[in-house]
Amino acid sequence: MAVTGKSTKGDGKSNRFRPFNKRGSVPQPPMPFFPPPPWHARQPKSSDDRHVMAKHASLYPAELPAFQKMVIACEKALKLVSDKLSTNAVSPSTDSETPKEEEDKQSTTESVEADTKVNKPNSNVSKQNNNQDDVYRSLRGVQRVGVFGHGLLLQTDTCVELVALSAEKPTETLLNQIYECFPSQLALVTDEKYDMEINVAQAAVIVIRVKEPKISCKISLTSPIMRENMDTPVVSGGDEDQQEANNNDCKTGEGSDQALEDSDAQGTFEESSNKVENETAALNTHSDMHTEEADPPDVLNKGICLNALAELRRAKWFQARARGLPNCLVVLRILRDLSQRIPLWSNLNLWAMELLVEKCLGSVRAVLGPGNALRRVFECLAAGIILPSCQGLYDPCEREPSDPISEMTAQDREDITAAAQHMLRLIAFRRIRKVLDMEPLPPPHRKFKQRKRKRVGEGAEGDAVEKRDKQCDDVDDELVEDVEDCDIEPSDA
């Protein structure tokens, strides 16, 4: 007989002790564990999702194939210009060889010849690689940066940017050589006609399309040596590991590309990006040779060259960290359109927007829809993440800790925070169309509709219910109008 303790069936209370299992009885198995639903489960589209995607479709550029065709032609022409300049160029390392270095080179060549006799099948491949490495190139690579490199073009954008890397410090003579050789090499690659302009103040060559639509491509010239000269401290010991960990954030990675943006130019872009990485690594190894040399007399503006290098690092970081996040590009396009429509939001630069959106969407385990993703970004801004009392944003592409919004004034930060709070109120009152500046969408078409049958004597009651619902809708509209009339302009204080 099982011991159950004091029975309280009549009192309605449960037993104090759980009864033991009977002798010889089989214990009951535990309750099965049902795992939670997957985070990537498909959720039905809400009204906010439909409005956000409709606005994104209106912002998507229609001239994207023309941009891609022009950029691919410029990349191929730069490769031909690099080949042409390398035939007449002479490596500076070969001119400064001493007799001892020549003797060492002869001894190394003799040892290499002895090794090639043993391994004859691999001798031809090694000779070809050595011949390619011996060619000195003044232009080492090219990469897409800016809104085109990040995949954030809008309908109103007419200019894209490329960054070309040089082996030595970029000078005005090298920029003029590129400007003189570029038109002839561009004619060999494409049949379209382009105009050329040179801008020494911006250290760039601008390619303008003659036909409609009028679009342009800005090719900036820079070199990693410009940044190496600015680094005075020397890293030693355990600080090297910390520096390598910081540099890992700027490595390239394959993200989830859009359907049309990278379909035509994936091959050439991957080759150019790989070449840029290899050449920058090679240039960093010889940085000690250039630190002690004096700058050429016609060297380009250092500030412009350093900004181009920063854009190069940001493009690599964006491809590795932010491009693969769901709905990241959608939210960034809408924020870019918001900054163009409202001057208040233009104080928040594009790089700060990218860091903010990546941190907001990358810190969520679940996959957010377009409407919830945009709402989360406004929630972070409304909470005061950019206020002076907070820590601000961290730039992962700089060696020293820096804030990309450090130039913003305290009044601008407070105004953007108040504007984000106003946008959040509009979204809460189901007025996201006011945030996106668009017309309300019609309700979705439902395949199955429930048939409503009128009952006997229900006419008067039904009219009363409809009248009451109409009054509630009028009250909601009055509340929304009060919210919209809130003043979010900068105060005089």
pLDDT digits (tens, 9 = 90+) for 62-75: 999 999 999 999 99
pLDDT band, residue 136 (cuts 50/70/90): confident
Q: Is 154 helix (H, G, I), strand (E, B) or coil?
A: coil
Pairing state between β 159-166 and 216-222:
parallel
Whether residue 401 lies inside any domain: the answer is yes
Alpha helices in 152-263 (DSSP H): 172-189, 225-228, 239-247
Determine the Cα–Cα distance for residues 6 and 14; give it in Å rounded to an integer: 9
CB 446 within 8 A of CB 45: no
Q: Provide the domain limits for residue 377.
A: 324-436
pLDDT digits (tens, 9 = 90+) for 420-449: 999 999 999 999 999 999 999 888 776 555
Whether residue 9 lies inside any domain: the answer is no
pLDDT digits (tens, 9 = 90+) for 139-192: 889 999 999 999 999 999 999 999 999 988 999 999 999 999 999 999 999 999
Nearest to 296 by CA among 138, 165, 136, 171: 171
Mean pLDDT within 95-120: 46
Q: Residue 346, Cβ neighbours under 10 Å: how many?
A: 12
Q: Are 310 and 338 contained in the same domain? A: no
CB 174 within 8 A of CB 127: no
CB 332 within 8 A of CB 59: no
Q: Residue 406, Cβ neighbours under 10 Å: how many?
A: 10
Q: Are 307 and 169 contained in the same domain? A: yes
Whether residue 54 lies inside any domain: the answer is no
For residue 95 the two structure tokens come to: 């001119």
Residue 254 one-letter amino acid: E
CB 138 within 8 A of CB 166: yes
Cα–Cα distance list, 487 to 263, 415, 431, 482 (Å): 46, 11, 17, 10
Give how far the C-alpha of residue 95 lies from the chain's centroid of Cα atoms, to the nearest Å.
43
Q: Are 311 and 370 contained in the same domain? A: no
Determine the Cα–Cα distance for residues 376 and 364; give it in Å rounded to an integer: 10
Q: Residue 157, Cβ neighbours under 10 Å: how many?
A: 17
User: Does pLDDT of 265 surpass 60?
Assistant: no
Residue 354 one-letter amino acid: E
CA atoms within 13 A on the CB side of 154: 17
CB 75 within 8 A of CB 142: yes
CB 53 within 8 A of CB 330: yes
pLDDT band, residue 212 (cuts 50/70/90): confident
Q: Are 384 and 328 contained in the same domain? A: yes
CATH of the domain at 80: 3.30.460.10
Q: How many domains does the chain have?
A: 2
Cis-peptide, bond into residue 213, ω within 30° of zero: yes
Q: Is 65 helix (H, G, I), strand (E, B) or coil?
A: helix
CB 193 within 8 A of CB 97: no
Determine the Cα–Cα distance for residues 56 and 250; give it in Å rounded to an integer: 28
Q: Are 306 and 172 contained in the same domain? A: yes
CATH of the domain at 339: 1.10.1410.40
